[in-house]
């Protein structure tokens, strides 16, 4: 039986490019969660007025990939100490967040954050929110496979490609192919 978890770690293009390569991930879907407006658009979310975060919904096979492993990858892909931003991307839509769908996901998220705080993995406190997923709104179609379809895009070259290269080196044993 498959599971889903929804993660916000800045721009969803970075998360999508990484998670779609992980063995055990069956599907990734960019979208929006945690806001108050029905069916928000990218432009509305980017304005900061809807309260949504840019997120990636990850559908995975728990016998091949555990929630803990997904969260370890997630925390390696972004800086969970930055409030409402990731690098130059600033706004509540870029907040670090975990939208859980099961009590186990919530427990593991709390456990991993507590471990990282105890071990002082980061120089600053972790600000990742842990919230029950109330509603996931899929992003517009043009966001799917964005990095693959737009390799020459300046943002992809400056931000996404270096992040994905580091990801591939760090998690090579977990990748397909």
Catalytic option among 11, 14, 46, 156? 11
Catalytic residue list contains 11? yes
Nearest to 113 by CA among 133, 128, 102: 128
d(CA 97, CA 18): 17
138 membership: H or E segment, kind and range: strand 136-138
**2: Cβ–Cβ under 8 A, 6 or more apart, which residues?**
26, 59, 60, 61, 62
Residues acting as catalytic residues: 11
């Amino acid at each position: 039986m498959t599971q889903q978890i929804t993660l916000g770690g800045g721009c969803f293009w970075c998360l999508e490019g990484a998670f779609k390569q992980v063995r055990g991930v069956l599907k990734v879907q960019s979208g929006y969660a945690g806001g108050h407006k029905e069916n928000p658009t990218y432009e509305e979310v980017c304005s900061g007025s809807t309260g949504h975060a840019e997120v990636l919904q990850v559908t995975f096979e728990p016998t091949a990939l555990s929630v803990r492993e997904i969260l370890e990858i997630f925390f390696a892909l972004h800086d969970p100490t930055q409030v409402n931003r990731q690098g130059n991307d600033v706004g509540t839509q870029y907040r670090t967040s975990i939208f859980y769908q099961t009590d186990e996901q919530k427990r593991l998220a709390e456990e991993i954050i507590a471990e990282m705080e105890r071990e002082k993995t980061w120089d600053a406190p972790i600000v990742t929110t842990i919230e029950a997923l109330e509603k996931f709104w899929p992003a517009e179609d043009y966001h799917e496979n964005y990095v693959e379809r737009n390799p020459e895009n300046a943002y992809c070259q400056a931000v996404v490609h270096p992040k994905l290269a580091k990801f591939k080196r760090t998690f090579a044993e977990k990748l397909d192919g």
